[in-house]
Amino acid sequence: MFRHMNQRLRFRGKTFRQKALVRFMALVLVGVSCAVITGTPVSSIAVSEQRAVPKQYKFTNGRWFDGKGFRRDTVYTVNGLLTRVAPDRVDEVIDLHDGFVVPPFGEAHNHNVEGHWNIDRIVERYLHDGVFYVKNPNNIRQLTEQIVFRLNTPDSIDVVFANAGLTSSGGHPAPLYEHHLRTSRYRDIVGEVPPGWFDGRGYVLIDQKTDLETKWTRIVEGKPDFLKVFLVHSEDAGFPRSDAPSPQRKGLEPSLLPGVVDRAHRAGLRVTAHVETAADFRLAVSAGVDEIAHLPGWFVASSEQLDRTRLSEEDARLALQAGVTVVTTTVAMKPHGTGHEHQSEAASHHQVQPAHPSAFSMSPSLWLQGQEVMKHNLALLRRHGVSVAIGSDHAETSLEEALHLHALNLFDNLTLLKLWCEATPRAIFPSRKIGRLVDGYEASFLVLKDDPLARFEAVASIEMRVKQGWRLQTLK
């Protein structure tokens, strides 16, 4: 069984494209066997293209995005890469009929790629929406290991996993796993399990330095693509507040964070921090994390806590200086939203069904108040030039997040498009040549019917999808 791709994009001496090719061929062989038995399609790649290497294409009459606008160009794909130099052989010429070509989109925060029970629907949904790159910042490794053969192939989405995140005893998300998800969502998946079963699977408890030392080997043996830490109301550590929710939310002990980040960086792991308040944000920046998984304001328990989520000019200045990336997640707690595709079956990581009210739900009025704080925070970060990536956390794909950001009217269409198709993919896979349509980069792109700079909603009208030189079939 092949392991999912790590961020160094090499294993056993193979490059990313070699690795993807090996996985793809294995998938084709398995799929062919299934097709013979069941008559089902082998994959989402056109049958005529199921061979060792993709065709060499010539794409004509396309308007290609260059980071500033669209310009007409003729582009070739050779060995899964883009080039403007005509190869000795062209297998097929494709007329794009004045379509608008953009890099594929990214999803920098979502937990829905998690197991075998819905992976086909999840992959199809992401490909349909043109989202090729996904980051899952908390998952159960034993479940995602069952689906690695279905991911990081030319006919699927590319995903990185954090595995279980680090928190303290009683800290988020431990109570969520133990007191709710264990007896609801995961009962049909893992069966009846005793309290504590998710310790080391859904979360890792780190209460003191010795815990980190004794558990670190097991953490890295799980081969996470990056490390996740939970910072929750770090300003309350050791000092209960009258306005704190009951039970009071908490995460990793703040004093332990610098040591965690240092150890992770020495192991070659980037660090993503879940935050909820401005104090959490400041702690994450000062400790040197690489990414902040939420924009403060995404979740508050009461209107009295809103001021604790508002960032300052100094926060933004220090974030820029630290080079941290902030993931938006403005729709994460949207009341009665679409949620994960599997939310109809059970609760997701933060939000629960209306029939099961909990401290993780937000009322419509409180959510709207949080949105105003997030607009302030996001405008502040962008004004200071802080890197931003698009992630939804609780939508089927990041399309909902991108459209919501458009509705907030914080970005012009060009800026928002670049955030989604350039900045976000590179935030997920910083070592790969993706997010641009230039020679030598992966031949992955979308062809839109209309101009998204004139009408941003055009991002949802995709007429063609190409991934690493392979044309994907039109999906429902």
**Residues 248-290 pLDDT 10s:** 689 999 999 999 999 999 999 999 999 999 999 999 999 999 9
Q: How far apart are CA 303 and CA 367, in angstroms?
A: 10
Q: What is the model's pLDDT at position 464? A: 97
Q: What is the model's pLDDT at position 268? A: 98
Q: How far apart are CA 233 and CA 250, in angstroms?
A: 6
CATH number for the domain formed by residue range(s) 105-428:
3.20.20.140
State both tokens at 439. 């020679």
23 Cβ partners below 8 Å, 6+ apart?
2, 149, 152, 153
pTM of the complete model beyond 0.75: yes
Question: Is the per-residue pLDDT at 314 higher than 90?
Answer: yes
- Segments making up each domain of the chain, as ranges: 16-103+439-472, 105-428
Higher pLDDT, 346 or 460: 460
Q: What is the model's pLDDT at position 365? A: 93
Q: How far apart are CA 341 and CA 278, in angstroms?
A: 31
Which CATH entry fits the domain spanning 16-103+439-472: 3.10.150.10, 2.30.40.10, 3.40.710.10, 1.10.10.10?
A: 2.30.40.10
| 155, 132 contact by CB (below 8 A) | no
Question: Could you give phi then psi for residue 148, rounded to 5 degrees?
Answer: -60, -30
Name the least confident of 56-70, 198-212, 282-296, 325-339: 325-339
| Strands in 43-130 per DSSP E | 57-65, 70-78, 81-83, 92-95, 100-102, 105-107
Higher pLDDT, 28 or 171: 171
Higher pLDDT, 163 or 46: 163
| Strands in 264-377 per DSSP E | 271-274, 291-292, 325-327
CA 68, distance to chain mean position in Å, is 25
End-to-end Cα distance, the chain: 30
Q: What is the model's pLDDT at position 242? A: 55
User: Can you say whether residue 173 is alpha, beta or left, with left for phi > 0 and alpha for psi between -120 and 50 degrees?
Assistant: alpha
Averaged pLDDT score across all residues of the chain: 86
State both tokens at 9. 């994009």
